[in-house]
Structure formats: structure tokens, C-alpha cells
A and B are shown apart, each in its own frame.
Chain A
Amino acid sequence: MSNTELDAVYLTFALASTTTVILLLLGTPLAWWLSRRTGNGVAAIEALVAVPLILPPTVLGFYLLILFAPGSALGQFWFWLTGSQLAFSFSALVIGSVVYSLPFVVQPLQAAFQRIPRETLQAAATLGAAPLDQFRSVVMPLSRRSFVIAGCLGFAHTVGEFGVVLMIGGNIPGETQVLSIALYDHVESLQFAQAHRLAAALVVFSLTLLFFIYRADRQSAWRLRS
């Protein structure tokens, strides 16, 4: 494998890991909030979270590109904060990926949280567990499986991202050139052997990850470690 390819592999995994961590941190409270409430406000937020599922990635990428531009408010704020430009940077890819993969993390978590009966949490409350304690000691263990699934889906979906990255990343090797873009590059320049290698690697990776997700899904919900 060439150096640029190794760079692309490293970059892809760095991007997917960072995105997954941020998504779990942001997605958990968001999913919890959505799971415990009803009303128009909630439906609006749910729609907003889900929109990357149906929107062409290029649309999202286009708007993000405009948002990240050096002349934009966010672009200037970023420059003031970090001293570097936001557009075509790794940070821009992370922000784009977080938005793009959000539904893949929020939706399984929300579904898991909704399955936890209010009654079980009431029981915890009467035993002296404050809300955060209830979340840590009851909600998290009961939705452990969904956390794994949400993390895997967020990770896998970020690895599989193309349109958004193409729009906001700018294909800079070692900075924003992820695997899917490197593959596209190889095909464009008719390097089919290299393209095959990357494509096959991505297929194997995706299948393996999905296999583990589905296997986890089939395992009984809260089997004890006995």
C-alpha cells in the first residue's frame, strides 16, 4: 500500500473514531430528551435529526461548505479561535460527519430509551436514585446493546461517507483525503488495481462490522455475566 493510501486509512479511522465519540456524547442526552417528551417541538427536532437520512449528501455538503467558508460568521469565529481556516480541514470533516451520522446514533438510542418503562425508573427513584444515578445505574445497563449498535453504526456510516466529504473536504492527502475519496481518485485516474484493493477492503470491513452489530442485536437483552 502506498503512503497516501496508508494516510487515507489512518485518516478515515481517525475521523470515524472522533465522530463516534462526539456523537455518543451529544446523541445520548439528545436521544434521552427526545425519548421522554412528546409534542410539536419534539417532532421538529426529530425531523431535523433524521433529515440527513434522506437528503442527498451533496445538499448537506453544499450548505456546510457555505457555512464553513472563510468569509462566513462561523469561518471567522473558527479562525479567531484556532488561528486556522475551517473549510477543507479535518475539523470541518468531523463537524460534517457528526451532522451526517447523527440519526444513526440518536435513533437506536432513542428507541432503546423509549423501551425502558417509566415504572422501573420510579422504582429506582423510590430507592434513592437521583435522575443522573438512575440513568447510570438503570438506563445505561439496560440499553448497553443499543449503545454498541449506535456506536458501530455511527462509525460505519462515517467510514462510508462520500458526498459530504467531497464537498467540504477538498481531497487533500493526509488532511482530508479519506478512503472513499482515495478510491474515487484511483478510478478517476484509471488505477483499477489500487481501486480494487481499497474497494475490497471497505467491503470486508463493512460486512464484518455489520455482522457483529447484528449478532449483538440477537443476543438476549440483558444476560447476566454468570
Chain B
Amino acid sequence: MSGLSLNIDFRGEQGFAMKLACELPGRGITAIYGPSGSGKTTLLDCIAGLRRPEPGSAVCCRGETWQQGTTFTPPWQRDIGYVFQDARLFPHLSVRGNLDYAIQRCRGRKSPDLEQVVRLLELDKLLQRNAEALSAGQKQRVAIGRALLSAPRLLLLDEPLANLDRAAGQQCLAYLQRLEKELEIPMLYVSHDIEEVSQLADYLVLMDQGRLTGQGSPLDLCARLDTRLSHEEQAAAIAQCTISRHDPEFGLTELDLEGQQLFVTHLPQSPGQLRRVRIPARDVSICRQRPTDSSILNILPVTLTEIEQSGDARILLRLALGDQHLLARITRKSAQQLQLRVGDQLFAQVKSAALLMEAADYL
């Protein structure tokens, strides 16, 4: 048993109840996504032991049982690292003191090398500083370092970027991706920002009102019509592309998506790299014939595989392109005019596609 196995029945204040059972992968970054109030933080707290689910709940992590029947391991005996939204550094200690605090309490487990963590998170210039005197982004980096140095079996992150500005947030995200690769610590990452999730997650868990509403690969989940995700305003499909070549004349980069060309604004990465692109449903329109005089560069032949009403005036379409899928959101009126049927061969016009950034782009 190498993964995380959960069976949680939690009853909180004001009638909040959480009930879920699932098996999650024991490696990579698993994102937990859902609207606020859906119980994401409560779930992390239950895994960490900061909140106590009802007896009979079970929490097992990578071969260690933390809760089962009436046994309940207190948080200080669980090998977890927890990065909170608000860093929670110890104000009476320096940055170094905060890191040492974790190292001193490893209880014989081998803590990652301090120098390596300091290097990966670029903390060397901060070590002597007072924890209170740091910027929000710096605090969060120290908090991540501190959690890692406690030698966790599992790193829990509760919206660690929520209090950061965009640049600091992107940088932090990049650090996390690099840490995951180099230290091989599985992470459970709570977020309500779908872009963050699409960028980071190897595995995705959807939550709503204390229940689990979906789990699987983010590529798969984002393009399904039966989850809440595809009906959100910022719904987008995630596709995997290879960078094929650069076109310096027009400042574009050509990607290969299932044998089709996809142009995005020029990127610094070298050809051959496999990357994720995020294609928002609202930026995809469809035609029956390939348009010949459109300003839109990216026109992909697709097959319509699913049609679903989304709200009063809109229709959500799922379009297959080879093994991958796109989403298109159009009005109900145009769907009727085009007389769309499942199985139709169509052309998708992609107005924008954003390459999702990775650690290497920032560091």
C-alpha cells in the first residue's frame, strides 16, 4: 500500500458534514479543487490530525495507519508537513531557527539535507533574518522549507499562494514543482484556483459540500461535461502538446497537438519538450466548414462527442481530437442553428491557448 487511503466521516460546527472515501496516489502532486466551503481545508486537517473525524474513520498514508477504529494518532506523531495559507512561522525565531525547529523534531527520520532545501528554495540570503520581517512570498517559501525539513511522508499544502501576488505565486509554484521532482515527496495541494491546479496537478480531486465529486487525471477531468468544473465560467480543457518549432518572423511558437498545428505566442522553450496547454472553453468556437478567411490561426478538425446544456443560454460541447479533448462553450441559439449532433465532424477555432508554465520557466 503506497498511496493515501481515506475514509472520513467528519461533523463540524454549524451542520457542516464531510463524508468521503477514496484512494489517492502516493506520489506526485494531487490537487484538491472545489469552491470555498467545500471542505478542502477540513480534509487536510483530518489527514494531519488537527481535526478529529468520527470514530470509524480511517486515514492510512503510505503504509502507516494514523486513524482506524478508535485509534487516533495525534498530529505531532504523524509524519506530515503542513504548509498553511498564512505561513505560520514562529515570530520569536529567525528563519534559520524556524528551519532548525523542524529538523530537531524529526524523531530519527532522515530529514532532507538542509543545504539542498535552502538551495532549492533560495533561502540562503534570508537565514539570519527575523521571520516577522519577511515578505509574504518569502514567508511562504520558509514555511515550505520548514515543512520539508520535518521529513514528512506527505506534504499538505493549503492554498499556499492565496496571500501572494501573481509573480510571487508563480515563483512559489515553480519552487514546488522543482521540490516535488527533486525530493520525491508526495503533495496534497488544496486550491480554488483552477489555473494553479492545471499547472501543477498530476492527479485531481474535486470536492463539493463535503463530498468527493470526481477524481482522476486533470486532463481527463477538465474536459468532462458531468463535473462542475466544465460548467464554471473559467472552464478550460488541458491538452498535452509537443513544442515543434519557433517562428521568429511572426513571433510565434508552433505546437504539435495530436498531429495538428497549434500556434501560441513565442516561447523560450526548446523544441521537443512536452508541455500542457490550457484552452478555455469560451475561446473555442466551431464551424461546419473550415473557414478560409478567418483571423484565427488555430483551426483544428474535431469530432463532437457530447453536448450538454450549461445554464439557460449556453451549450457546452466536448470535442475529440485524437485521444485528447477540447471544450467549447457556445450559445444555445447557435447550437440550434448549426443543428449539432453527436458524431459531427467540425472545425474548432481556438482563439487563445495558454501554455502552462513550469518550474524551468521561472527559475
A123: CB under 8 A from chain B? yes
- The residues in B between 56 and 95 inclusive whose CB is less than 8 angstroms from any CB of A are 74-78, 80-82, 84, 86, 88-92, 94
Determine which residue in A123, A128, A224 has the highest number of CB atoms from chain B within 10 A of its CB, and name it. Answer: A128
Contact B86 A142 (CB under 8 A): no
Contact A122 B90 (CB under 8 A): no
Binds A, one of B98-106, B217-225, B354-362: B98-106
Contact A128 B88 (CB under 8 A): no
* Residue numbers in B under 8 Å from A119 (CB-CB): 84, 86, 88
Closest Cβ of chain A: how far from B49's Cβ, in Å?
8
Known contacts A129-B76, A142-B91, A224-B94; decide if A123 and B84 are in contact (CB<8 Å).
yes
CB-nearest residue of chain B relative to A223? B130
B266: CB under 8 A from chain A? no
Closest Cβ of chain A: how far from B148's Cβ, in Å?
11
Contact A128 B105 (CB under 8 A): yes
* Residue numbers in A under 8 Å from B76 (CB-CB): 125-131, 133
Contact B50 A127 (CB under 8 A): no
- Chain A interface residue count, Cβ-Cβ cutoff 8 angstroms: 21
CB-nearest residue of chain A relative to B107? A128
Chain B positions 143 through 154: 1 when the CB is less than 8 Å from some CB of chain A, otherwise 0:
000110010000
- The residues in B between 109 and 168 inclusive whose CB is less than 8 angstroms from any CB of A are 128, 130, 132, 146-147, 150
- The residues in B between 26 and 59 inclusive whose CB is less than 8 angstroms from any CB of A are 48-50
How far, in whole Å, are A129 and B107 apart by their CA atoms in the complex?
10
Contact B75 A125 (CB under 8 A): yes
Contact B101 A137 (CB under 8 A): yes
Chain A positions 106 through 136: 1 when the CB is less than 8 Å from some CB of chain B, otherwise 0:
0000000000000110111111111101000
Chain B interface extent, by class: 20 to 34
Closest Cβ of chain B: how far from A175's Cβ, in Å?
44
Closest Cβ of chain B: how far from A32's Cβ, in Å?
17
Contact B105 A126 (CB under 8 A): no
How far, in whole Å, are A127 and B105 apart by their CA atoms in the complex?
7
How far, in whole Å, are A122 and B49 apart by their CA atoms in the complex?
10
Contact A125 B90 (CB under 8 A): no
* Residue numbers in A under 8 Å from B146 (CB-CB): 127
How far, in whole Å, are A226 and B147 apart by their CA atoms in the complex?
25
Contact B92 A128 (CB under 8 A): no
* Residue numbers in A under 8 Å from B94 (CB-CB): 224, 226
Contact A123 B82 (CB under 8 A): yes
Closest Cβ of chain A: how far from B208's Cβ, in Å?
26
Known contacts A123-B82, A222-B91; decide if A128 and B106 are in contact (CB<8 Å).
yes
* Residue numbers in A under 8 Å from B89 (CB-CB): 123
* Residue numbers in A under 8 Å from B86 (CB-CB): 119
> Which of the residues A141, A142, A226 comes within 8 Å of B128, measured between beta carbons?
A226
Contact B50 A120 (CB under 8 A): no
A51: CB under 8 A from chain B? no
CB-nearest residue of chain A relative to B50? A122
Contact A127 B150 (CB under 8 A): yes
A138: CB under 8 A from chain B? yes
* Residue numbers in A under 8 Å from B128 (CB-CB): 226
Contact B48 A126 (CB under 8 A): yes
CB-nearest residue of chain A relative to B82? A126
CB-nearest residue of chain B relative to A131? B76
Contact A127 B101 (CB under 8 A): yes
Known contacts A119-B88, A222-B92; decide if A126 and B81 are in contact (CB<8 Å).
yes
Contact A141 B105 (CB under 8 A): no
* Residue numbers in B under 8 Å from A221 (CB-CB): 91
Contact B90 A120 (CB under 8 A): yes
Closest Cβ of chain A: how far from B72's Cβ, in Å?
13
A-B contact list, 11 entries, CB within 8 Å: A122-B75, A124-B90, A125-B75, A126-B50, A126-B80, A126-B81, A127-B81, A127-B102, A141-B92, A224-B92, A226-B128
Nearest first, the 10 closest Cβ-Cβ pairs linking A and B are A128-B105, A123-B88, A126-B82, A222-B92, A125-B75, A141-B92, A125-B76, A130-B76, A127-B150, A127-B102
Which A residues contact B (CB, under 8 angstroms)? 119-120, 122-131, 133, 137-138, 141-142, 221-222, 224, 226
Which B residues contact A (CB, under 8 angstroms)? 48-50, 74-78, 80-82, 84, 86, 88-92, 94, 101-102, 105-107, 128, 130, 132, 146-147, 150
